[in-house]
């Protein structure tokens, strides 16, 4: 198996005279968004680094009879997830190229929707993307997902309602499209908080995890130096070792081909 080099971050320090690649289990971490073809419905799917997923969506926004969609589950090694919460069944499959196919339906058969989407990777709000939450009175919790491109989906505490909005700038108050009568304003801030209607402050509780489908570059044995001769885009073999004269600090992720 081969992999193309994708240098995404540089945080850990290893010193070595040789490097090797080991295959890792697929990671589907990220934020995925999608809409129905008529743009009346949509969803956001958040997957963290431990493959725990939260899905928030709906259909018929700005309609009193809109339908809410919510799910929470673990994503398996094949990219599948499903849950049954608040009488709504959700299931999805994430492909290795970042596409997602989603189905949501009421347990009583009153509605059923299919949507397609993809990983959101554009940059304007990448630094604040992730899962947000605020505790309300009692044990109630309101959750929201912020995508890197500014789409925000929120769920009501009982997951029977919610809303969505696409923000265009930090600190700008924007009115959401709501499921039902409860319409709120959103203000997304650079410190990874959301002001909801001037009443509640949602704080980020989980950030977007590592890159999808990765293998990790490791080094063995310890020896001082910096990497030489390995370039971005170079094709390396999984499981092979590569003698190098040096190694610089960093943890490198490789996209599997």
Query: Tens digits of per-residue pLDDT, 3-21?
Result: 433 333 333 333 333 444 4
92 Rama sector, left if φ>0, alpha if ψ -120 to 50, beta otherwise: beta
pLDDT at 26 (0 to 100)? 78
pLDDT at 122 (0 to 100)? 78
Q: How many CA atoms lie within 13 A of 51 on its CB side?
A: 17
CA distance 44 to 33: 4
Cα–Cα distance list, 147 to 75, 77, 249 (Å): 19, 23, 30
Can you tell me which residue has the tokens 């971050």? 9
pLDDT at 24 (0 to 100)? 56
Q: Which residue has the higher pLDDT, 96 or 70?
A: 70
pLDDT at 16 (0 to 100)? 36
pLDDT at 25 (0 to 100)? 65
Do 119 and 217 lie in one domain? The reply is: no
pTM of the model: 0.73
Do 15 and 119 lie in one domain? The reply is: no
* Residue 218 in this model has a pLDDT that exceeds 90: no
Do 74 and 148 lie in one domain? The reply is: yes
Residue % of the chain over a pLDDT of 70? 71
Contact 135, 157 (CB under 8 A): no
Query: Tens digits of per-residue pLDDT, 153-198?
Result: 999 999 999 999 999 999 999 999 999 878 899 999 999 999 999 8
pLDDT at 207 (0 to 100)? 81
65 confidence band (pLDDT: 50, 70, 90): confident
Do 6 and 59 lie in one domain? The reply is: no
Do 6 and 125 lie in one domain? The reply is: no
Do 53 and 153 lie in one domain? The reply is: yes
Walk across the sheet containing 200-207 and list its strands: 174-175, 185-189, 193-196, 200-207, 130-135, 141-146, 151-155, 162-166, 177-179
What is the pLDDT averaged over residues 96-107? Answer: 95
* Residue 214 in this model has a pLDDT that exceeds 50: no
Nearest alpha-carbon partner for 26 in 72, 92, 79? 79
Q: How many CB atoms lie within 10 A of CB 2?
A: 12
208 confidence band (pLDDT: 50, 70, 90): low
Do 202 and 223 lie in one domain? The reply is: no
Walk across the sheet containing 88-94 and list its strands: 67-74, 52-59, 41-47, 30-35, 112-119, 99-106, 88-94, 80-85
pLDDT at 235 (0 to 100)? 52
CA distance 237 to 257: 11
Q: Mean pLDDT of all residues in the chain?
A: 78
Q: Which residue has the higher pLDDT, 50 or 253?
A: 50
Do 228 and 105 lie in one domain? The reply is: no
Do 162 and 196 lie in one domain? The reply is: yes
Do 104 and 184 lie in one domain? The reply is: yes
Do 61 and 137 lie in one domain? The reply is: yes
Instruction: Give the domain range for residue 69.
Output: 30-207
How large is the C-alpha radius of gyration of the chain?
21
Give me the number of domains the chain comprises.
Answer: 2
Contact 14, 226 (CB under 8 A): no
Nearest alpha-carbon partner for 218 in 14, 1, 27, 3? 14
Do 22 and 36 lie in one domain? The reply is: no
The string over 36-64, giving b where at least 16 C-beta atoms fall within 10 Å of a residue's C-beta and e elsewhere, is: beeebbbbbbbbbeebbbbbbbbbbbeee
């Amino acid at each position: 198996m081969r992999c193309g080099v994708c240098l995404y971050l540089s945080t850990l320090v290893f010193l070595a005279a040789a490097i090797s690649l080991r295959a890792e289990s697929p990671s589907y971490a990220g934020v995925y968004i999608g809409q129905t073809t008529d743009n009346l419905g949509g969803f956001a799917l958040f997957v963290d680094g431990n493959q725990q997923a939260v899905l928030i969506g709906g259909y018929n926004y700005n309609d009193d009879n809109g339908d809410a969609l919510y799910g929470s589950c673990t994503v398996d090694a094949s990219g599948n997830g499903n849950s049954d919460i608040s009488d709504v069944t959700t299931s999805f499959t994430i492909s290795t190229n970042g596409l997602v196919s989603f189905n949501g339906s009421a347990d009583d058969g009153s509605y059923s929707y299919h949507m397609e989407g993809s990983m959101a990777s554009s940059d304007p709000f990448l630094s604040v993307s992730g899962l947000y939450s605020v505790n309300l009175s009692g044990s109630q919790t309101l959750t929201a997902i912020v995508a890197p491109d500014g789409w925000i989906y929120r769920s009501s505490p009982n997951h029977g309602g919610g809303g969505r909005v696409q923000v265009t700038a930090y600190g700008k108050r924007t009115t959401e499209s709501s499921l039902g009568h409860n319409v709120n304003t959103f203000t997304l801030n650079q410190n990874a908080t959301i002001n909801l209607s001037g009443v509640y402050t949602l704080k980020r509780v989980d950030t977007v995890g590592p890159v999808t489908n990765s293998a990790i570059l490791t080094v063995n044995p310890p020896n001082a130096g910096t990497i030489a001769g390995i370039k971005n885009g170079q094709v390396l073999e999984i499981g092979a070792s590569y003698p190098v004269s040096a190694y610089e600090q960093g943890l490198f992720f490789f996209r599997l081909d």
